[in-house]
Chains A and B, each alone.
Chain A
Amino acid sequence: MTATDTLQPDAAVGGGRDVDVDLLVVGAGPAGLYAAYYAGFRGLRTAIVDSLPEAGGQVTALYPEKMVYDVAGFPGIKGRDLVAGLVEQAARFDPVYVLGERAEHLTNEAGHRPRAGERLVVTTDKGTRIRTGAVVITGGIGTFTPRPLPGGAEWEGRGLTYVVKELAAHADQDVVIVGGGDSAVDWALALDGIASSVTLVHRRKHFRAHAASVADMEKGSTVVVTDAQVDSLDGGLVDGVERLHTVNVKHKDGAVTPYKAHSVIAALGFTADIGPLETWGIEIVDRKIMVDTAMRTSVPGVYSAGDITEYPGKVRLISVGFGEAATAVNNAATYLDPDQPLFPGHSSDDPAGIGAAAAH
């Protein structure tokens, strides 16, 4: 059992719901989770939104097993354990997690560009509306999206997919999987016996996936085609609907082989992009958010922290992100209520360590 599957919060809020909070954190990586802790300590009702289905951001997505040696107080900690600790630390204030949803739009209640003092509304790609007094953007390197299959755009949803949502959806289909990583090989293993045929196409001879999984795949009935890539997709009318039926695979020597396919699953990895944040009206330079010493962005009520921020002298480290998160949240607290002090008090002065939350 790993730390993350015991401590990972439920995606408590489903699509299309309404959420009402004092502070919204955009991005559930280390800086965002720590911001949620501090917001709770300040007595703010808090939500965290992230396009990934799990908390932990880049650490969970890219290097959960890597040891991190530069977090204060931890001589060495595994990425996933650090994330689990951050989730646990924030959990005492019970933040609302909106995971697997990408924050798309930022407006005021009337749907316009917000002005100082107005309530903010962040809408996700799944239609969830989060009303909040302030926002802290801890978006890291941006939102993760699957790397597109070249030439595949027109077949998306008509035979081309980037994730396997349900194995049963591929029952009795001819399936072509593209890629050489763990996802590609794991899906080939899972669909072997469910699909009527599985063909895996990989650009190289060597796989990045675990050697044991590759060996299992080679023992099974999957047709493994290496040193080859998808050249083009063909389809035709099936029951009046244009559907994929053939994947043309080009080998290293230039020869092209057609494979029958009802589905092609492209598992080519993920890329991160700052994405929708560019439309929020905040000042962004080279895909980084410009902030001042209070971690304010150019939009009133919107703060930022962590790898996504930029200012003279910026050092892009996890430990710096934690400090910025505390600065952003405490400044946001005085924005929300100017009578509140900027300094939150010491967590150690409070027997329960729950700060302003004790008043609620």
Chain B
Amino acid sequence: MPYVIGSECIDTTDMSCVEECPVDCIYEGDRKLYINPKECIDCGACEPVCPVEAIAQDRRVTEENEPHIADNRRFFVEPLPGRDAPLGSPGGASKVGKIGVDTELVADA
């Protein structure tokens, strides 16, 4: 039951959530941030700091953001455009830095 970042983040990427996350599980794509559902501990620290209210628990996302539940997962478990292997669970966003690529759902938005 991880938290999920929705479409409001696209072209915002404020990064406040990244500063707040105690397990460093929020990764930076190109135009959007993504929460790694395997690393998220469901603490909720990210939700109130998002200036565009893009973050919600997966059970509580708005209807229009429902595709982003699967899309946050897809960012990690499927190879991103132009890559051979999925990102997986690196165990910390600061270890890998900015990924610089988005999922197709976000890139086409």
In the complex, are the beta carbons of B22 and A286 less than 8 A apart? no
Cβ of B107 to closest chain A Cβ, rounded Å: 25
- Is the contact region of chain A dominated by helix, strand, or loop, or is it mixed? loop
Number of residue pairs A-B, CB distance < 8 angstroms: 47
What is the CA–CA distance of A180 and B17 in the complex, to the nearest angstrom? 12
- Identify which of residues 1-42 in chain B touch chain A, using a CB-to-CB cut-off of 8 Å: 14-16, 19-24, 38, 41
B contacts with A, residue count (CB < 8 A)? 19
What is the CA–CA distance of A245 and B79 in the complex, to the nearest angstrom? 45
A contacts with B, residue count (CB < 8 A)? 23
In the complex, are the beta carbons of A269 and B23 less than 8 A apart? no
> Could you pull out 27 A-B pairs where Cβ atoms are within 8 angstroms?
A58-B43, A61-B22, A62-B43, A63-B43, A141-B22, A144-B22, A147-B19, A147-B94, A180-B19, A203-B16, A203-B19, A204-B51, A206-B51, A208-B16, A208-B20, A268-B19, A269-B20, A269-B22, A271-B21, A271-B23, A271-B24, A271-B94, A272-B22, A272-B23, A273-B91, A273-B92, A286-B89
- Residue A250 is within 8 A (CB to CB) of chain B in the complex: no
- Residue B96 is within 8 A (CB to CB) of chain A in the complex: no
- Identify which of residues 66-107 in chain B touch chain A, using a CB-to-CB cut-off of 8 Å: 89, 91-92, 94
Contacts A62-B43, A208-B49 known; A271 to B89 CB distance under 8 Å? no
In the complex, are the beta carbons of B22 and A203 less than 8 A apart? no
Cβ of A244 to closest chain B Cβ, rounded Å: 22
What is the CA–CA distance of A255 and B55 in the complex, to the nearest angstrom? 31
Contacts of B15 in A (CB 8 A): 203
In the complex, are the beta carbons of A286 and B38 less than 8 A apart? yes
Picked from B38, B49, B92, the residue with its CB within 8 Å of the CB of A271 is: B92
What is the CA–CA distance of A144 and B22 in the complex, to the nearest angstrom? 8
- Residue A270 is within 8 A (CB to CB) of chain B in the complex: yes
- Identify which of residues 254-312 in chain A touch chain B, using a CB-to-CB cut-off of 8 Å: 268-273, 286-287, 307
